[in-house]
Chain A
Amino acid sequence: MFHICLLMFSPQNYPLYIRSVPSQNELKFHYTVHTSLDVVEEKVSAVGKSLADQRELYLGLLYPTEDYKVYGYVTNSKVKFVIVVDSSNTSLRDNEIRSMFRKLHNSFTDVMCNPFYNPGDPIQSKAFNGIVSGMMVQTG
């Protein structure tokens, strides 16, 4: 059973959404993800200085540890998505991760447009949960 974990952070780095499969491992991922936030900030602030076409939203592999690979994505509203997968899960290719982030961004846009959602609150939308579960089942 592969491990996979998804986290979302608000522009002020509060957690908006945390989900992992299998669900007992969340705490283990928290440390990895909090350190990866530093790498995200570094990449985001580097975008302004380099002239290359690095203004993409997908940040790619943030850093590999011996157990996990961490991928990042940041929206224009500075909401950060982080996906952590097992290093042993070699079947997940870069463009699959990219498409996962796109789907997440689309569902997040829907959550944002929900008038009952207050930006900055943890996300409790059933539709969003459904999309995430679907994605995790597909890859895990």
Chain B
Amino acid sequence: MADDSLFEFLHMEIVSHIFNEQQSRKGELDNKDRAACISLLEAMGFRVGQGLIERLTRDTPSFKDELDIMKFICKDFWTKVFRRQVDNLRTNHQGTYVLQDNKFSLLTQFSGGKQYLDQAPKYLAFSCGVVRGALSNLGLESVVTAEVSIMPSCKFQVVIQKL
């Protein structure tokens, strides 16, 4: 189906547009500018995550606890958004969760190997935002970061903020 590639192309273009925009305004990008672009992408993802979770949890019964919510994110939510389930969920039972996806759908178009490893964080920022937005609307404030060691597998680390 063509639907999946529509979003993938759009996403690639969003990332490249934001960075080019910043570059044409500031000239050379230093670390602060790069961070600003990444947080812009993350903020976009946040709002999308909020709306998505409202639609996806419309018919599901309410969640028992935090772990229940994380399992929902790993199975149903990940399936609807990234078309596969999270391969591995680890937790320290104290609010930190690591979600590992071995074939992350937004990274499959990159060539495997080390060449573009440093560019990967740009393409993960939006997805981190989506997860953070989803959790926020379910009542969990969190900090979501992602890292890649081998393409296209990546790990999302979710740290739930206890207020």
Contact = CB atoms under 8 A, between A and B. Distances in A.
A48 B62 CA distance: 9
Contacts of A119: 50, 137
A112 B139 contact: no
Interface string B41-60: 00000010011111101101
B65 interface: yes
Interface residues on B, range: 10 to 19
Interface stretch (A1-9, A18-26, A70-78): A70-78
Contact of B51 (A48, A105, A112): A112
A76 B62 contact: yes
A56 interface: yes
Interface residues of A, number: 20
A44 B62 CA distance: 9
Interface of B: 47, 50-55, 57-58, 60-65, 137-139
Interface in A68-123: 74-78, 105-106, 108-109, 112-113, 115, 119
A57 B61 contact: yes
Given A11-B139, A76-B63, 20 more contacts: A47-B64, A55-B61, A57-B61, A57-B62, A74-B62, A75-B54, A75-B57, A75-B58, A76-B58, A76-B62, A77-B138, A77-B139, A106-B58, A108-B54, A109-B55, A109-B58, A112-B51, A113-B52, A113-B54, A119-B137
